[in-house]
Amino acid sequence: FQEILEAGIVLKGSEIKSVREGKVNIAESYAIEKGGEFFLVNSHIPIYKEASFTNHNPREERKLLLNKREIKKLIGKVNRDGLSLIPLKMYFKKGRAKLEIAVAKGKKRFDKRQTKKTRDWNRDKARYFRRSS
């Protein structure tokens, strides 16, 4: 990671209740820039069962709340340097939902090959140990 930021997140009532229950999945999500604002994409906040017909869409894009200075700096890093914004964790601070975002560089092809080799070797090693014992 190059930098870690804290951002607020715009949530609806039924979304905030699901977040309070701890049922959020941000594993495959990322942030993108649209019209000078950042949005969290591909996060999953499940439907709150006790909500009425005004329930939310679980895969909806959610706006991130950042200062203008932070937004300009991040837009420059994302567009110029090819960096990505990845959420690390979601938590509450003084009753408000916050998202910890990391500015990170994506893996290159050779990095992915090395990761695959390591994963395959660990799997084979576990097989050998199981067979020998």
The secondary structure of the chain as a DSSP string is: --EEEEEEE---HHHHHHHHTT--B-TT-EEEEETTEEEEES-B-PPPTT--TTPPPTT--EEEE--HHHHHHHHHHHHHH--EEEEEEEEEETTEEEEEEEEEPPPPHHHHHHHHHHHHHHHHHHHHHHHH-
Count of residues for the chain? 133
Q: Which residue has the tokens 């894009």?
A: 61
Average pLDDT on 114-122 reads: 91
Domains in the chain: boundaries: 3-106
Per CATH, which fold does 3-106 belong to?
A: Small Protein B; Chain: A; (2.40.280)
Average pLDDT on 47-55 reads: 80
Full-model pTM: 0.77
Percent of the chain past pLDDT 90, that is, above it, reads 47
Q: For residue 8, what pLDDT band results from cuts at 50, 70 and 90? A: very high
Least confident of 8-17, 44-53, 68-77, 84-93: 44-53
- pLDDT at position 51 over 80: no
Write out pLDDT tens, residues 74-96.
998 888 887 889 999 999 999 99
